[in-house]
Amino acid sequence: MIGRASTALSALEITLVPEARGSGNSIALLNAMKCCARANGYKALFAPVRPNQKHLRPHTSMREYISEVRADGLPADPWLRIHLRAGGRVVKIAPYSMTIIGSIADWSTWTGATLDQSGEVAVAGGLAPLIVSLEQGYAVYVEPNVWVEHVL
């Protein structure tokens, strides 16, 4: 402690099993986190958001992806849209929110992909391409996310 009261809380993750998706559970969980933060005196909730449709376009930059909006001005991505409808605002992109380094064998096992050439490779579920280096015998995945602030 440095003698100052905390003013913000950070969410870590909301994950729903597939059969629980699409029926309002994600907004209910987001609202519950906001309610809990507010009840404990926090002025803001920050959420590191992993846009849930970005994996369909791994070669598109996160900046370009989040700038895509629907006719109503809300984000094309459903999870970002939920956050903004709930009063959140995009604060910034975290371009290196998670980095995973593994051998070619590890990545082949983890993804089921045949990694037989160096370069960028899209892998199932990845928000960004996997960077493969056969010469070095490893691959690196660097995943971006988007920080959203909910003022309470």
pLDDT, tens digit, for every residue of 85-103?
A: 999 999 999 999 999 999 9
CATH number for the domain spanning 70: value is: 3.40.630.30
**Contact status, residue 86 vs residue 27, Cβ threshold 8 Å:** yes
pLDDT for res 18: 86
**Contact status, residue 89 vs residue 83, Cβ threshold 8 Å:** no
Q: What's the chain's average pLDDT? A: 94
Here the tokens at position 90 are 């995009």
Per-residue pLDDT of the chain (152 residues; tens, 9 = 90+): 678 888 999 998 888 888 988 898 999 999 999 999 999 999 999 999 999 999 999 999 999 999 999 999 999 999 999 999 999 999 999 999 999 999 999 999 999 999 999 999 999 999 999 999 999 999 999 999 999 999 99
Could you give the CA distance from residue 149 to residue 83 in angstroms, rounded to a whole number? 9
- Provide the number of structural domains found in the chain: 1
Could you give the CA distance from residue 106 to residue 112 in angstroms, rounded to a whole number? 10
Could you give the CA distance from residue 52 to residue 18 in angstroms, rounded to a whole number? 12
Is residue 130 in a domain? yes
pLDDT for res 75: 97
Is residue 98 in a domain? yes
Is residue 91 in a domain? yes
What domain range includes position 30? 8-151
pLDDT for res 2: 75
Is residue 2 in a domain? no
Is residue 72 in a domain? yes
Is residue 36 in a domain? yes
pLDDT for res 51: 96
Is residue 1 in a domain? no
Is residue 3 in a domain? no
pLDDT for res 1: 60
**Contact status, residue 14 vs residue 29, Cβ threshold 8 Å:** yes
